[in-house]
Amino acid sequence: MARRFGVTRYPALFVGEVLVAKPKDFGFYGKGEGAGDGRYTPFQSAESHQRLQDDLRRMIRLALAGGSVAPGAPVDATTAEPETLPDFEFQTLDGAKLTRADLAGKVVIVEFWATWCPPCRSTLGFLEHLRAELGDRVIVLAAAVESDEADAKAIAATATHLRFGLATPEIARSFGDVSALPTLHVFGPDGLRLASHFGASPTLHRDVESAVRAALGIPADKR
């Protein structure tokens, strides 16, 4: 799993197909790269320990549920996902701004990814092909987490049907925070959440495509 996600140092925590934490999250091996600003730093603090425990509980529950959360599924304070498309502002890498109002009537896919995460890039490639096939009724927002803007732009140049931007803390919080990569949410034309997926499960692409086609009224076997 570490090789799959491009993690070359430890500690790293995985729950099933989900990368929950890597060395930088604990403030390790981050000299010159934002050392001390990881999700669980300073790790000596009780608050950081509690955050890690909450994230692990959340990911274990999700793994037991198959790696996804459907609308109406039981949730608690550590597993709640947005039931409707949040009211947010997304700035693309080319400077354009998108809001919830701009996405009304569309199937909206939001993927939180990172340039250093190979499974995330695989899913971006899948989403690029899906969006190219289904057209303007689908909007894909690709929000890069902990990624250099120049690296994100290089990848964005290979997927011209997606809207790329950097994931600000405000955007991450509006979607229930991001404690796993990739994290992917699907919303229907009415703004209601159809599904949320965490990690790169073997059925991720198939499940997302099925949800999108159903929302658009396109039979799964009609290409």
Dihedral of CA 36/59/162/85: which sign? negative
pLDDT in tens, 5-24: 778 888 888 887 778 888 88
Omega cis (within 30) before 71: no
Please state, as a whole number, how many other Cβ atoms lie within 10 Å of the Cβ of residue 44.
8
Residue 73: what pLDDT?
Answer: 40
Asked whether residue 75 carries a pLDDT value surpassing 60, the answer given is: no
Q: What percent of the chain has pLDDT over 90?
A: 46
Mean pLDDT of 100-119: 94
Determine contact, residues 113/124, Cβ cutoff 8 Å.
yes
Highest mean pLDDT among 12-21, 68-77, 110-119: 110-119
Tokens of residue 162, six digits: 């997606």
**CA distances (Å), origin 67, targets 21, 134, 161, 202, 203:** 17, 25, 26, 10, 10
Residue 166: what pLDDT?
Answer: 96
pLDDT band at 34 (very low <50, low <70, confident <90, very high): very low
pLDDT band at 132 (very low <50, low <70, confident <90, very high): very high
Asked whether residue 220 carries a pLDDT value surpassing 70, the answer given is: no
pLDDT band at 29 (very low <50, low <70, confident <90, very high): low
54 contacts: CB under 8 Å, gap ≥ 6: 78
Average pLDDT, the chain: 84
Q: Which amino acid is at 40?
A: Y
Please state, as a whole number, how many other Cβ atoms lie within 10 Å of the Cβ of residue 203.
12
Q: What percent of the chain has pLDDT over 70?
A: 87
Residue 72: what pLDDT?
Answer: 42
Residue 173: what pLDDT?
Answer: 86
Helices 118-134, 204-216: inter-axial angle, 10-degree rounding: 20
pLDDT band at 92 (very low <50, low <70, confident <90, very high): very high
Residue 67: what pLDDT?
Answer: 60
Highest mean pLDDT among 3-17, 25-39, 118-132: 118-132
Mean pLDDT of 135-147: 94
